[in-house]
A and B are shown apart, each in its own frame.
Chain A
Amino acid sequence: MVKYLTNGDKILQAVLSDQRLSEYAEYSPAEFETISEALDSDNPVVCAIAKIIDGNQRKSTEKEIYNEVSNYLKQTI
């Protein structure tokens, strides 16, 4: 079954396909197709990206998203 990709999923894939980022964060872009998959990831960078996109989709404020992402990274990185 073909998976329906949201706008956020497509952005996620486009960002994760960045070679330098994948080298830095040590992940394989093919592993993550959707935001929900990325949010569940143990890779802090992948998850942080998903949180940014997801937060934006949920219309959270910039401050809310930043706090969430930076706190998450402080704990995990």
Chain B
Amino acid sequence: MILKDIRIKNFRSYYGETTFSLSEGLTLIIGGNGDGKTTFFEALEWLFNTSAEDKKESNISAMRKSELEIGESDEVSVSITFEHEGVKELEKSFTFERISADYVRTKDFRFIGYENDGSERLSVKGANLLERCFDSFIRKYCLFKGESELNVFNNETALKTLVDTFSGIKQFEDLVALAEGFEQKSLNAVNKEMQNDQKVSRKAKDLDSKLILLNREIFDCKKDITTQETAISDYSNKLENLERYQDTSELYQTIKERIKTLTEKQFKLKGMISCDYNTNLLDEFWILRSFPKILNEYQKKSSALSREKRKLEKQETERKAKEEGKREAIEQIQKLANGAVPLPWNLPDKETMQEMIDEEVCKVCGREAHKGTVEYEFMENRLKEYLRNVEYEASAKEISVSEKKILFANSYIDELHTKQIQMSGSIEQEISSIAIEINDHLAFINDRKRDLEKINKAIQDAEDEKNRLLIQSPGITEDLLDKNFKDLKGFLETKSRAEKRVAELKFKLDGLIKEKNEIQAEFNTLEPSNKMTKVYQRVHTALECIMKAFVNAKEKNISTFLTMLEEQANSYLKKLNENDFHGIVRIIKTINGSARIELHSKNDDLINDPGGAQRTTMYMSVLFAISKITTLKREQDYPLIFDAPTSSFEVSKEDVFYNVIDKIDKQCIIVTKDLLLSDEGTGQKKLNNDKIQQLTCSVYRISKAFGYNPLDLTTIKTVTEKIK
């Protein structure tokens, strides 16, 4: 089956009809997130699903649905044209009709195939045509979503189905079981006959009871081996899953460890900065922390007061001295020239004096004293002197009062000074040392507070990083990562114990089988007297040989298939990892009848943890190999369709991968967001045309039509552009 084209109509984001014409080699469908890549893939899944009449409303284009008026209808369809012994078509569709504003009815599900019979075009049941040209078994090896689905041996029946399909031999298991049953029945029959034979009865019974015991032991031993090997297989799967998340797990654990370390530091720092200020205030004399500063201020103020006091005292002394001098001077002036005793300054009084001046006559001597004369001037001076004396007397009286008042009646300033002296010296030194200690302590606490702020920020950053990691790993929970990592050691130990136990049990089983064979051989050598018993013996021997031949043939058939698959897979692995390490694919048969794909190095050492790209190319090689074997064995081809198979590839690996897969003679459709570049200016995605031009394959670009509303699904439609 080779796909010619795919048509998608009104299927989710594919509004109207979109056609993809496919090449017989590689077709790339390139689009960014939400551009319709997975929808393209799921449209094909919907077409190839024959299990149900799926006409669910969610598959209808929201844009088309929103345009429908009540009573109008349209259809959703996905169809393919393909080459398989002539050109054929397959179409799945259903109609949708708007019944009311908020109800759309879906109906008329159809799944029809078309093929040509001569010049006539016949319509047939779609499911039948699909099964005939692309059977359900092959379809299992056709569509792969993401990297995690690429392992084809992820279920127990995979190997058997593959062997049955590709070795061309089916029902081997049934025949082996049949042959084993016949051998056992004939053995029982022989035993029964032998035990009834007169000649060998006793010996036969003895050997038979030994065989019964041995068979029981062998059965138990095989059961134990199966249990242990199932456990090994389970733990291998668990470890494989763990390996898939290993990078995420390791990063998660690193971040978690960092958070743990930081949290411990945070706890310690909190302990360091914790301080009972109330208690320390009195118990640890923290109250004295400001003593040196206060003492210094006290000293300054006390000195200032003392200085001020001395200054005032000096000024007072000077003032007193001046007053004394002035008094002596006045007394000196008041002495008369002729030595006569002058009148007291208060005679005549002020009023009399004024009266004499007004009347221009001296009423002491009775002479006239006109204005402008010496006598008149004398009288005026006498009045002035009177007034001066009155004033002086007043001030002298005042001074006399103040002289009696002491300037610093108390000794407060002296006391302050004495206190200052007392608090200096050893007390000051002692308290200063306490203050220094407290200051150091507080500086230490402040430093630790700054450290704590940094630690808090680092914890927040680590938490953010952890959250980003979880956001970037959809489907993986914190619990899962935590649990897986914790379980890792346990898984490895349990697996190792089981492997050791299996080795012991196999050794024991070998011994038991050897012993059984010896007894059986001894049994076979018994010469019964009864002729018929001898016949039973020969029949059993024949059936035993037949049974062993069936078992060997079945095992050989599987191993031949696995060898062929390995050879083909290694051929593709080499191509897919051109100029890079690729290792050797080994397909190991497991106890549960399935197989496990492993990567080995040249010396056959198992590569336990192949990287993402290595693992993907390993699985893809097996898929290509299966496809190749299909072509060889069944003379039919089928496409391989991958949705984003290279998400773990580095850019350089992507380039090599596409260059190689471009040249592989196999129809491949890959939907991917590789080969897109981000425009530095607009941030929009554009095709990496340089790389695309290097490829010979068909390339489609799918994208959301311009002008959509990010919040409104009814504005989204996928548009396609054929690039080459």
Contact = CB atoms under 8 A, between A and B. Distances in A.
Contacts of B553: 11, 14-15, 17-18
Given A11-B175, A66-B181, A66-B182, A48 B546 contact: yes
Contacts of B174: 56
A14 B536 CA distance: 27
A74 B539 contact: yes
Nearest to A22: B549
Interface residues of B, number: 30
A61 B170 CA distance: 18
A65 B545 contact: no
Contacts of B556: 14
Given A52-B178, A62-B181, A73-B539, A21 B168 contact: no
A77 B542 contact: yes
A74 B189 CA distance: 12
A66 B535 CA distance: 16
A30 B133 CA distance: 35
Tell me which of B168, B181, B552, B554 has the highest count of chain A C-beta atoms within 10 A of its own C-beta.
B552
B50 interface: no
Contacts of A66: 181-182, 185
> A16, A44, A62, A70: which has the most chain B beta carbons within 10 Å?
A70
Contact of B557 (A14, A44, A70, A73): A14
Contacts of B549: 15-16, 18, 20-21, 49
B497 interface: no
B548 interface: yes
Interface string A34-54: 000000000011001100110
A24 B545 contact: yes
A62 B557 CA distance: 24
Interface string B159-186: 0000000001111101100110110011
A28 interface: no
B172 A11 contact: yes
A16 B168 CA distance: 17
Contacts of B169: 7, 10-11, 14
Given A14-B557, A66-B185, A21 B538 contact: no
B72 to A, nearest CB: 54
Contacts of A21: 545-546, 548-549
Contact of A73 (B175, B542, B550): B542
A10 B168 contact: yes
Interface string B513-548: 000000000000000000000011011001101101
B550 A15 contact: yes
A24 B189 CA distance: 22
Of residues B170, B172, B174, B182, which shows the largest number of chain A Cβ atoms within 10 Å of its Cβ? B182
A65 B543 CA distance: 13
B552 A73 contact: no
Interface string A1-36: 000000100110011111011001100000000000
Contacts of B550: 15
A70 B182 contact: yes
A7 B181 contact: no
B545 A20 contact: yes
Contacts of A25: 542, 545
A25 B539 CA distance: 12
Contact of B545 (A11, A45, A69): A45
B545 A74 contact: no
Contacts of A11: 169, 171-172, 175, 553
B545 A7 contact: no
A63 B554 CA distance: 23
Contacts of B543: 48, 69-70, 73
A28 B170 CA distance: 24
Contacts of B542: 24-25, 44-45, 48, 73, 77
A68 to B, nearest CB: 11
Contacts of B536: 74
Contact of B546 (A49, A56, A65): A49
A11 B168 CA distance: 9
A17 B552 CA distance: 10
A69 B535 contact: no
A70 B175 contact: no
Nearest to A23: B545
A74 B543 CA distance: 11
Nearest to A66: B182
Nearest to B556: A14
Nearest to A5: B168
Contacts of B545: 20-21, 24-25, 45
Nearest to B177: A62
Interface in B612-668: none
Nearest to A45: B542
A77 B538 contact: yes
B171 A52 contact: no
A63 B178 CA distance: 10
Interface in B551-589: 552-554, 556-557
A25 B459 CA distance: 79
A40 B440 CA distance: 110
Contacts of A17: 553
Contacts of A62: 178, 181
Given A14-B556, A77-B539, A7 B546 contact: no
B369 to A, nearest CB: 176
A35 to B, nearest CB: 12
A16 B7 CA distance: 51
A18 B553 CA distance: 7
Tell me which of A10, A11, A65, A69 has the highest count of chain B C-beta atoms within 10 A of its own C-beta: A11
Nearest to B172: A11
A1 to B, nearest CB: 18
B178 A56 contact: yes
A62 B582 CA distance: 49
A73 B168 CA distance: 30
A58 to B, nearest CB: 13
B171 A56 contact: yes
Contacts of A53: 175
Contacts of A49: 546, 549
Contacts of B535: 74, 77
A59 to B, nearest CB: 11
A53 to B, nearest CB: 6
A18 B178 contact: no
Contacts of B554: 14
Contacts of A74: 535-536, 539
27 contacts: A10-B168, A11-B172, A11-B175, A11-B553, A14-B556, A14-B557, A15-B550, A15-B553, A17-B553, A18-B549, A18-B552, A20-B545, A48-B542, A48-B546, A49-B546, A52-B179, A52-B182, A65-B182, A66-B185, A70-B182, A70-B185, A70-B539, A70-B543, A73-B538, A73-B539, A73-B543, A77-B542
Given A45-B542, A77-B535, 8 more contacts: A14-B169, A21-B548, A44-B542, A48-B543, A52-B179, A56-B175, A65-B182, A73-B542
